[in-house]
């Protein structure tokens, strides 16, 4: 009996000690205090593997987020292809046949679904000569879209290159001109909203409002292409305005701010638990668009 009492006492003591321990998030960045507002968001995006630290021990939360960085983070979440430039293509429909020869009478080598990425080896008339998983064949050029961009400032070897190609080919992100993407330029808040809006559209999702629409004091300064995305993201609780009532769409965003925005967005499109918002304030914020 005395042994049982000691065991129970030990268990109770252990539980009390465990309950008194503060919550420790997965990251161990020296520049992200555990009690700061963006700490859980940093943990969320780094746990998902869509953000990395700027060094093994630092996150640089106050550094500005560039266009190349942002598209890379979103592309990682979307599981976009992480390699290849100019020599890859995306199948555009379900049930697309890869045939032995460049004609509809040849044997079917493989059947692909939409968004399958294949290597392009060449062109034969109206057919692409492609390779996938060790197999070679031909796909009609109206059934797939070649990757690659016309941006002169996107080198083949940069970490963001395949993600810029993905975002450009899917019409998720556009360039700053007809021939440049400006990957090292700080991304603006209105660009963030627009890219997220375009991504949701590309996967056939409509983000539903959870909060009332507010009119920002600088509404008349919004770019026309950003107006709807800004208010969609605001009403979904993904991004907020400034304390002075403005949205500041042309201002840049820090890595900490983008970690929060992306974490909230992912919560919307995947039901991933928001690390900040209490459960009773969350609601369905997207629905599938029926064709």
Q: For the segment 253-268, what is each residue's pLDDT rounded down to a tens digit?
A: 999 999 999 999 998 8
User: In the prediction, which pLDDT does 49 show?
Assistant: 93
Same domain flag for 259 and 223: yes
In a domain, 15, yes or no: no
Q: Which residues, at least 6 apart from 146, have a Cβ–Cβ distance to it below 8 Å?
A: 86, 88, 89, 120, 128
Contact between 187 and 160 (Cβ < 8 Å): no
Question: Which position has the token pair 């004091």?
Answer: 217
Domain end (from 98, 119, 146)? 146
Q: Which two tokens stand for residue 30?
A: 């020296």
Answer whether 189's CB lies under 8 Å from 216's CB. no
- 181: pLDDT strictly greater than 70: yes
Q: For residue 142, which of 163, 128, 157 has the smallest C-alpha distance?
A: 128
What does the pLDDT average to over 204-214?
A: 89
- CATH assignment at residue 129: 2.30.30.40
CA 238 to centroid of chain Cα atoms = 13
| pTM reported for the whole predicted model | 0.69
- Taking only the tens place, the pLDDT of each residue in 50-83 is 999 999 999 999 999 999 999 999 999 998 877 6
Indicate the number of domains in the chain. Answer: 2
Q: In sequence order, what DSSP letters do the residues of 77-121 get, joined into one string? A: HTT---S-SSSEEEE-STTEEEESSSSTTSPEEEEE-TT-EEEEE
Element counts in the chain: helices (H) and strands (E): 7, 9
Looking at the structure, tell me whether residues 117 and 194 fall in a common domain. no
111 belongs to a structural domain: yes
- 128, 141 Cβ separation under 8 angstroms: yes
| Structural domain of 119 | 88-146
Which residue shows structure tokens 């996967």?
Answer: 203
In terms of Cα–Cα distance, which of 166, 74, 72 is closest to 117? 166
Burial of 42: CB neighbours in 10 Å, binned 0-12, 13-18, 19+: buried
122 is a domain residue:
yes
Tens of pLDDT along 118-167? 877 777 888 988 888 889 999 998 998 876 566 888 876 788 988 998 89
- Pair 125, 49 in one domain: no
- Angle 153-155-159 (CA atoms, 0-180°, nearest 5)? 115
Query: How many Cβ atoms sit within 10 Å of the Cβ of residue 271?
Result: 12
Q: Are residues 199 and 278 in the same domain?
A: yes
Predicted confidence (pLDDT) at residue 196 exceeds the cutoff of 70: yes
Residues 193, 279, single domain; the answer is yes
Is residue 16, in this structure, part of any structural domain at all? Answer: no
């Amino acid at each position: 009996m005395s042994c049982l009492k000691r065991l129970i006492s030990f268990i109770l003591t252990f539980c009390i000690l465990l309950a008194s321990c503060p919550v420790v998030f997965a990251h161990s960045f020296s520049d992200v205090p555990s009690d700061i507002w963006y700490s859980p968001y940093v943990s969320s995006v780094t746990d998902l593997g869509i953000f990395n630290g700027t060094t093994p021990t630092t996150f640089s939360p106050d550094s500005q987020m560039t266009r190349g960085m942002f598209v890379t983070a979103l592309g990682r979440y979307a599981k976009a292809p992480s390699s290849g430039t100019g020599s890859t293509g995306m199948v555009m429909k379900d049930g697309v046949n890869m045939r032995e020869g460049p004609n509809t009478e040849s044997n079917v080598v493989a059947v692909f679904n939409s968004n399958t990425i294949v290597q392009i080896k060449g062109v034969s008339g109206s057919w692409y000569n492609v390779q996938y998983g060790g197999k070679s064949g031909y796909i009609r050029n109206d059934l797939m879209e070649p990757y690659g961009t016309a941006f002169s400032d996107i080198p083949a070897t940069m970490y963001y290159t395949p993600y810029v190609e993905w975002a450009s080919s899917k019409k998720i992100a556009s360039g700053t001109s007809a021939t440049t993407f400006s990957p090292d330029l700080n991304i603006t808040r209105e660009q963030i909203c627009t890219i997220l809006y375009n991504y949701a559209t590309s996967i056939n999702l409509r983000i539903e409002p959870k909060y009332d629409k507010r009119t920002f004091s600088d509404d008349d300064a919004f770019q026309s292409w950003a107006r709807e995305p800004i208010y969609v993201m605001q009403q979904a609780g993904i991004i907020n305005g400034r304390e002075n009532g403005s949205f500041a769409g042309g201002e840049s965003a820090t890595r900490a701010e983008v970690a929060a925005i992306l974490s909230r967005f992912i919560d919307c499109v995947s039901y991933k638990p928001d690390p900040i918002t209490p459960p009773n304030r969350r609601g369905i914020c997207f629905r599938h668009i029926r064709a």
